[in-house]
Structures are given as structure tokens and as C-alpha cells.
């Protein structure tokens, strides 16, 4: 099976060839844990969760290593902890910072679990790898790629000729288009912080340059090196991270370990909108994943809507999409609820879509086709690979019937096939009386009958009465 992925670095879609088929390695930039994850934060989680599932499907569950970090060294986390301390919370500031990070990581796991995202192989916290960051910074200074100034250590952008290649910008363009921190100790306005000082009120660690804390970019470079090596297969994240975060990661990693390639494939997902507008608090359309879950929107519905758009296109969350996603999942789960738990392979068309640069929208279109022709087995296999398996909180139990559930669903599947056969015969004889009779009986039983040139779908409605199906087969 051949996987093709769009590589941001080369701006082309390439055949993916892992360095080691026994250990395919992927690193994805994780959250800064200072608050609840908003809906936009969920998109890269779900995009790379599907990629993780696909890689496991192709290379084997035990042959893929997926790292997603937690940034728990950050000024926003510090500010939250300081506010708690000022409000009367007891304990040292570092303890309050750690408690806040623990709390937020717990929320993150709850919310992403609800979306059906698999836990990565490892989820390193930045505070656990400070020693590795200090060692990498020391190496960069020794190689002439970094310098100390007024308690800070900065990366010298001029020392790396390929700076800007990932984002396709020149240094002049980056200076003009970015909010560059102006500081008198910088040799070049684009030089970025590897280490900065901490006062007594802030968390800090001892280092050769005094008590301080790491800059944001060095965290991912150090952790990916320690856990995946100097060269690994895939690095992912949102396209808002291309510059400066990923550009800076490449510079410091390639200079620290010039014998390696760092990440061979770079993948970036586009951003999320709400009802056609950028999500923002000022527009009143900003909400977290937990907000939706608490409103009763199941995680599988959120996941379905997200995957309905290709990851390299802007994704628009709308109420209409949410409603349609829930209806579709109810229908699909009703079709697959009666199947035996045997392992089956997804359809070739489904796999062709996913292996073509993770085309989840085309994969879902194939599942719609499978539902129309009544292929419940292949439908279930596709749902499983996409992480959209039935959840009892949303599944067929919500159709309002309890007794005889399995028998009723089996009857619906059988009646779908019967109606397909009757329509096929009617197309030959031009006599549609039997088709109309069965259709009327199904509608009377509370079943929505959807007929098109591509197939037939029977969807139980809120007034579904399985007793009225007796004698129709």
C-alpha cells in the first residue's frame, strides 16, 4: 500500500517511504497547557490521529512511534499561577504552576478522548527535559550558532543559510511581516531566544547562564531529538506554526545535529472557521471543545465534521454540518449494529482516499456510497479506521426502541436489500406497485426511505415502530 503525503518543505505530494518500516516516527506539536482546548486546537489532534491510525494500519500497531508534547513552561501558565497566588492559593509558585499544568493536561485528555483521539506513544512535558534543552543550547554555542547576552542565550539566524526555506520567506520578508521582539542585546532582529532569565517570582532552573527557563522553540527540538533521533519521518502541526516555530526548530536542530535531516516530511493543517468567520472572542463565536460536549454534541459528531474537510483546506464549523453529521452517524451505526465482530479490510476506494494525502473527505464520500449500496461490513471497517465507531451515547439506542433492537436492525438491513431488488425488477417490468407498497409500509413504521440512482437508504426516525416491520420481509 503506497501512502502519498504533501510535504510543506518541498511543496509537493510525495510517496512516503519511512526510514525504518519497523519504527515509523512522527512528532506533532502539542498544546500549551494554560486553559481548555478550543475547537481550533482539536483540528491538528484529529488530523494527525487519522494519520497515526493509517500508519498503524499499514505498518502495524507496534511499529509506529507518535510523540506529541505538552508545553508546560510558558508565560501564560505563569500568569495564571500568579493570579491564583494573589487570590490566596497556598504553596510555592512553582507548585501552583505544576498544579495548573496537571489540571489542564487532565482536561485536555478528557476532551481529546471524547473526540476519539488515540493517546500518542509518548506525551513528554517540557519541564521533564530541561537538561536536554540546556545540553542542546551549549552545543549550539560551541558551534557558533548561538550567543549569550545579558542573561539570555539567542540563536544567530545569520549562522544558518537555509533559514526561511520551510515557510518560503526571506529574512527581510520575515522581519517586515512578523512582530519581532526588539531588544538591544540582539545582534540581528530575527535572532530568537533559546534561554531567558527568571526572577524569584517565576519558575526557573539552574544553567551555565544563570537561573532561567527555556524559550519555546528549543523545547520541541530537544524532545524530538531525545525521543526520535536526529532524523525522523514526519513533523506535523497547524500552519500557524510554520513561522516562526517550525522555522526555528529546523534551524536549531540542523545546526545542533548537522549530520541529521531532522524531519523529512512536514505536514500542516489549515485553520478553522465558525459559520464562515474566523473564530474569535470579539465576534462571540469562540468556544472550547468542552463547551460543545457540555451542550450535548457528541465527540464523534465533532470528529465527523472536522474530517469532512481535507486537512489542507480551511474548515468551517456550522450548525447545519453538525446536524447532518449526527443524522449520518445514527444511520450508519444502525446499519452496522447487527454485524459480527469479525475483522475486515476497508474497501480499496476508501484506502485509496486515505493514502492520497489523507483525503478524509473522499474517504467519507466512499462510506456514503457503501451505505447506499448496503455494504455494512465495509462501512464498519471504514468507520473503525477513521475512529468513528458506534458510541452508545449517540447510537441506535437513541431511536427510542429497546426490546428487539438487534432483530429490528436486521430487518431493516434485509428490507433495504429487498427494496433494492424490487426496484431493480420494476425497472425491467415498469410495474412499481410492489416498490410503492413496501415503501408505504416502511414510512408507516416510522422509517425514512431515501431513494436515489446510487442506492437506497432506510433511516429509522424518532417515531420508529419495529413491530410494524413484521411480515414485510
pLDDT 10s digits, 92-104: 777 888 888 899 9
| 453 exposure class (CB count in 10 Å sphere: 0-12, 13-18, 19+) | exposed
Given a cut of 50, whether residue 213 has pLDDT beyond it is yes
Q: Is the peptide bond before 244 cis (omega within 30 degrees of 0)?
A: yes
Question: 401 falls in which pLDDT band (50, 70, 90)?
Answer: very low
Mean pLDDT of 281-291: 88
pLDDT of residue 467: 80
pLDDT value at position 28? 98
Per-residue pLDDT at 453: 75
pLDDT value of residue 399 = 44
CA distance 252 to 157: 9
Q: What is the pLDDT of residue 402?
A: 37
What pLDDT score does 396 carry? Answer: 46
Give the range among 240-249, 363-372, 394-403, 459-468 with minimum mean pLDDT. Answer: 394-403
pLDDT for 462 equals 61
Predicted confidence at residue 77, as pLDDT, reads 82
| 430-463: pLDDT as tens digits | 899 999 999 999 998 888 888 877 778 887 776 7
Q: What is the pLDDT of residue 81?
A: 78
106-130 mean pLDDT? 96
Q: Which of 47-61, 177-191, 232-246, 338-352 has the lowest mean pLDDT?
A: 177-191
Number of neighbours of residue 216 by Cβ within 10 angstroms: 20
Of 79-83, 265-269, 369-373, the poorest mean pLDDT is in 79-83
User: What is the pLDDT averaged over residues 460-468?
Assistant: 75
Question: Minimal CA–CA distance to 254: which of 136, 142, 172?
Answer: 136
Nearest C-alpha neighbor of 68 from the set 213, 237, 222, 270: 237
pLDDT at 323 over 60: yes
Higher pLDDT, 403 or 282: 282
163-212 confidence digits (pLDDT tens): 999 988 777 777 665 556 668 889 998 999 999 999 877 888 999 999 99
**Over residues 54-70, mean pLDDT:** 97
- Specify the pLDDT at position 357: 98
pLDDT of residue 217: 96
Strands 152-155 and 192-197, how do they pair?
antiparallel
**CA distances from residue 144 to 131, 148, 256, 257 in whole angstroms, order as listed:** 20, 11, 10, 13
> Quick one: which of 312, 306, 351 has its CA closest to 7?
312
Q: Has this prediction a pTM greater than 0.75? A: yes
**Residue 343 burial (10 A CB sphere; 0-12, 13-18, 19+):** exposed
Highest mean pLDDT among 14-28, 203-217, 319-333: 14-28
Q: 91 in the Ramachandran plot: left (φ > 0), alpha (ψ -120 to 50) or beta?
A: left
Q: Is the pLDDT confidence value at 44 over 90?
A: yes
Above 80 in pLDDT, residue 324? yes
- Give the burial class of 391: count Cβ atoms within 10 A of its Cβ; 0-12 exposed, 13-18 middle, 19 or more buried: middle
Q: Is the pLDDT of residue 395 over 60?
A: no
Q: Which of 216-225, 342-351, 361-370, 410-419 has the lowest mean pLDDT?
A: 410-419
Residue 393 binned pLDDT confidence (cut-offs 50, 70, 90) = low
Residue of higher predicted confidence among 20 and 203: 20
Q: Which residues contact 305 (CB under 8 A, 6 or more apart)?
A: 317, 321, 322, 325
Q: Residue 274 gets which letter from DSSP?
A: E
Where residue 249 falls among pLDDT bands split at 50, 70, 90?
Answer: very high
Mean pLDDT along residues 28-49: 95
pLDDT (mean) for 271-296: 90
Mean pLDDT for the chain overall: 89
Q: What is the pLDDT of residue 16?
A: 98
Please state which of the ranges 131-145, 175-189, 340-354 shows the lowest mean pLDDT.
175-189
Amino acid at each position: 500500500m503506497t501512502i502519498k503525503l504533501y510535504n510543506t518543505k518541498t511543496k509537493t505530494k510525495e510517496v512516503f517511504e519511512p526510514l525504518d518500516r519497523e519504527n515509523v516516527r512522527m512528532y506533532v506539536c502539542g498544546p500549551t497547557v494554560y486553559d481548555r482546548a478550543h475547537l481550533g486546537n482539536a483540528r491538528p489532534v484529529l488530523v494527525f490521529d487519522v494519520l497515526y491510525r493509517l500508519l498503524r494500519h499499514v505498518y502495524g500497531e507496534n511499529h509506529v512511534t507518535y510523540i506529541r508534547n505538552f508545553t508546560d513552561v510558558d508565560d501564560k501558565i505563569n500568569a495564571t499561577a500568579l493570579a491564583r497566588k494573589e487570590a490566596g492559593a497556598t504553596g510555592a509558585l512553582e507548585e501552583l504552576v505544576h498544579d495548573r499544568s496537571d489540571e489542564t493536561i487532565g482536561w485536555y485528555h478528557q476532551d481529546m478522548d471524547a473526540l476519539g483521539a488515540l493517546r500518542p506513544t509518548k506525551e513528554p512535558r517540557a519541564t521533564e527535559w530541561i537538561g536536554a534543552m540546556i545540553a542542546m543550547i551549549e552545543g549550539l554555542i560551541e558551534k557558533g550558532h548561538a550567543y549569550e547576552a545579558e542573561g539570555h542565550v539567542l540563536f544567530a539566524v545569520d549562522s544558518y543559510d537555509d533559514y526561511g526555506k520551510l515557510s518560503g520567506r526571506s529574512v527581510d520578508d520575515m522581519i517586515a511581516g512578523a512582530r519581532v521582539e526588539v531588544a538591544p542585546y540582539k545582534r540581528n532582529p530575527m535572532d530568537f531566544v533559546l534561554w531567558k532569565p527568571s526572577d524569584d517570582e517565576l519558575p526557573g532552573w539552574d544553567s551555565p547562564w544563570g537561573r532561567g527557563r527555556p524559550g519555546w522553540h528549543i523545547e520541541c527540538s530537544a524532545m524530538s531529538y531525545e525521543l526520535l533521533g536526529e532524523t525522523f519521518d514526519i513533523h506535523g502541526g497547524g500552519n500557524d506554526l510554520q513561522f516562526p516555530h517550525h522555522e526555528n526548530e529546523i534551524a536549531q536542530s540542523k545546526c545542533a545535529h548537522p549530520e541529521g535531516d531532522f524531519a523529512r516530511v512536514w505536514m500542516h493543517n489549515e485553520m478553522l472557521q465558525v459559520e464562515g468567520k474566523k473564530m474569535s472572542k470579539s465576534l462571540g463565536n469562540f468556544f472550547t471543545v468542552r463547551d460543545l460536549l457540555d451542550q450535548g454534541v457528541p465527540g464523534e459528531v465533532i470528529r465527523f465534521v472536522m474530517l469532512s474537510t481535507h486537512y489542507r483546506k480551511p474548515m468551517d464549523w456550522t450548525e447545519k454540518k453538525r446536524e447532518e453529521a449526527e443524522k449520518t452517524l445514527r444511520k450508519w451505526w444502525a446499519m452496522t449494529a447487527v454485524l459480527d465482530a469479525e475483522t475486515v479490510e476497508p474497501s480499496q476506494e476508501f484506502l485509496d482516499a486515505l493514502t492520497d494525502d489523507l483525503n478524509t473527505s473522499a474517504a467519507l464520500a466512499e462510506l456514503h456510497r457503501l451505505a447506499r449500496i448496503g455494504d455494512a461490513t465495509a462501512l464498519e471497517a471504514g468507520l473503525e479506521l477513521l475512529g468513528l465507531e458506534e458510541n452508545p451515547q449517540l447510537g441506535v439506542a437513541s431511536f427510542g426502541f429497546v426490546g428487539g433492537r438487534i432483530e429490528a436492525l436486521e430487518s431493516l438491513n434485509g428490507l433495504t436489500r429487498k427494496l433494492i431488488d424490487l426496484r431493480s425488477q420494476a425497472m425491467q417490468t415498469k410495474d412499481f406497485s410492489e416498490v410503492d407498497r413496501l415503501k408505504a409500509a416502511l414510512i408507516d413504521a416510522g422509517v425514512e426511505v431515501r431513494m436515489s440512482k446510487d442506492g437506497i437508504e432506510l433511516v429509522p426516525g424518532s417515531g420508529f415502530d419495529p413491530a410494524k416491520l413484521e411480515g414485510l420481509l
